[in-house]
């Protein structure tokens, strides 16, 4: 079983819809990251959080440490939100702090 699981793997939405992507993890963490990867492009960090909730524009990220679960919400989705969204947790393992990545959620938003 992977230490970081994301759901769904693929997501299709119509423009304007509210979107939720989920991330569950099974290890102790110091922080959780949400990343965005556009097709053919690099990876951009959206949020880094260790508790509670963060908001940036139409994006909201929440984390529940007790349940080892985080969600990324996109309000009023737009075609430019189409990308792969990656959850990664920072965990101390094997003698160093490392990022453990989920496999990503591929989001397609249609006009």
Residue 59 interacting with another protein (CB under 8 A):
no
Closest CA to 89 of 26, 1, 22: 26
Residue 31 interacting with another protein (CB under 8 A):
yes
Residue 49 interacting with another protein (CB under 8 A):
no
The residue within the footprint of another protein, chosen from 13, 63, 88, 109 (CB under 8 A), is 88
Compute the distance between CA of residue 44 and CA of residue 35 in angstroms, rounded to an integer. Answer: 6
Compute the distance between CA of residue 8 and CA of residue 105 in angstroms, rounded to an integer. Answer: 6
CB atoms inside a 10 Å sphere around CB 84: 17
Residue 52 interacting with another protein (CB under 8 A):
no
* Token pair for 12: 């299709």
Measured from the CB atom, the residue of 13 and 32 that comes closer to another protein is 32
**What sign has the CA pseudo-torsion 11, 13, 16, 17?**
negative
Residue 102 interacting with another protein (CB under 8 A):
yes
Closest CA to 91 of 99, 83, 80: 99
Residue 72 interacting with another protein (CB under 8 A):
no
Measured from the CB atom, the residue of 98 and 110 that comes closer to another protein is 98
The residue within the footprint of another protein, chosen from 1, 39, 96, 111 (CB under 8 A), is 96
The residue within the footprint of another protein, chosen from 42, 56, 57, 111 (CB under 8 A), is 42
């Amino acid at each position: 079983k992977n230490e970081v699981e994301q759901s769904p793997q693929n997501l299709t939405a119509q423009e304007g819809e509210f979107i939720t992507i989920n991330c569950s993890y099974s290890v102790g963490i110091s922080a959780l990251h949400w990343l965005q990867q556009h097709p053919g492009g690099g990876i951009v960090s959206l949020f880094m959080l260790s508790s509670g909730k963060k908001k940036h524009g139409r994006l909201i990220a929440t984390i529940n440490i007790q349940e080892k679960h985080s969600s990324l919400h996109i309000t009023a989705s737009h075609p430019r939100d189409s990308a792969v969204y990656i959850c990664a947790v920072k965990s101390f393992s094997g003698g160093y702090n490392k990022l453990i990545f989920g496999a990503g959620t591929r989001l397609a938003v249609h006009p």
